[in-house]
Structure 1
């Protein structure tokens, strides 16, 4: 059994799940709801309330679940799972480390807190990218925990220029504090980004007030290809000028 929740804040999709899910549940409720959300806004915040009598999915429903997940995994801004079932809560907490979006588990008593958490998630990208093509310097303004999409956004700016011109002269990371990652998947994508661009970047400037930035830059400058230097968060222009080779 599955039904759509209607008492949630605007912009949040809600489902109440109980009993045993069948392909008919997906056809009647889930698939149309997801299709409508993607068509209207492209991004989803979803609250899933799982009742104590939930007993899983029939085998055909498992297939539908996998197919739907593969098609929509990149369309979520966040998912809140509300349940008191231990066999739901524990696997979901582990899954939160690998999905490419924020996901949290709440007990039934904190359903309102789950909705508030979803509503408070940042609506915009965690990383804003600007590119001075004349100087060949990309500035990445990082404000929140990083998602997989943020590295895709950065790569979409850098990679075409590199294919045409070769080495990128400079990259500036403007970061007030250590942002972290929304999931293990985001961390893996970060590592992949660094490895793929190693040797193709001339200078990396860290414009940040993070206390260990100077030490990190000093050590990294000896082991990585790009020259690396730390600047204060307020010294963005100086960082950009250095990254451009001025």
Structure 2
């Protein structure tokens, strides 16, 4: 059995699950809510409260769960799982390391804080990417912990230009503080992006006030192909001019 929760902050979708979930539960409640949000281009912030009598999913429901999850995984801003069941809490905590969005587990007494956490998550992209077609310099404005889709967004800008012109002259990372990653999956996508573009970027400028930036630039410059240089956060224009090359 599954039902929709009410009384939650705007933008937070709440569901309560109890007993044993069936394929019909997915067809009647979950699928319409999720697919409507996807069609309308809305990001999902989902609170899932699991009762103590929850008995898992029937086999057809497992198939529906996996199918729907694979198709809509990129549509979530965050998920809060509210439960006291240890056999749900522990796997969910591990899963939080690999899903491409923030996910946390709360006890059932903390449904309110769970909803507040979801409502407070940053909206929209964590990265804004612009390409100067004249100089071939890509500027990435990073504001929050990075998700998998942020690297897909960066690749969607960088790769077509590289295909047409070859090596990208420069990339500028404009970041006020170290952003981190929302999950292990995001970190792995970051690594894959770096490896895939190794040797194809001429210069990398770090425009940031992070104290260790100059040390990072110096060390990384010894082992990576791009020339790397650190600039102050307010020196974005100087960073872009340097990244464009001679």
Structure 1 length-normalised TM:
0.97
CA-atom RMSD in angstroms: 1.0
Query: What is the CA deviation profile of residues 154-196 of structure 1, one whole-angstrom value per residue up to 9, with x for unaligned ones?
Result: 1111110000000000100011111000000000000000000
Residue of structure 2 in register with 1:17 after alignment? 17
Task: Report SS of the residue matched to 1:228.
Answer: strand
Q: 1:235 and 2:223 equivalent?
A: no
Q: How far 1:74 sits from its partner (Å)?
A: 1.2
| Cross-structure match for 1:55 | 55
Query: What does residue 167 of structure 1 align with?
Result: 167
Give unpaired runs (5+ residues) of structure 2.
Answer: none
Question: How big is the shift at 1:40?
Answer: 2.4
Please name the residue that 2:191 is paired with: 191
Aligned to 1:124: 124
**SS of 2:174 mapped into structure 1:** strand
Q: 2:102 is matched with which residue?
A: 102
Q: How does 1:1-246 map to 2 (within 5 A)?
A: 1-246=1-246
How far apart are the structure 1 equivalents of 2:238 and 2:35? 47
Aligned residues: 246
Separation of aligned partners in 1, 2:96 and 2:235: 36
SS of residue in 1 equivalent to 2:54: coil
The whole-number CA distance in structure 2 between the counterparts of 1:103 and 1:133 is: 38
1:234 CA displacement: 1.3
Alignment partners' CA distance in 2, 1:34 and 1:81:
17
- Greater Cα shift, 199-208 or 123-132: 123-132
How many angstroms apart in 2 are the aligned matches of 1:194 and 1:148?
Answer: 13
- Distance, in Å, in 1 between the alignment partners of 2:235 and 2:37 is 42
SS of the aligned residue for 1:170 comes to strand
1:74-126 Cα offsets, whole Å, 9 max, x none, are 11111110011111111100000000111111111111111111111111210
The gaps in structure 1 that reach 5 residues or longer are: none
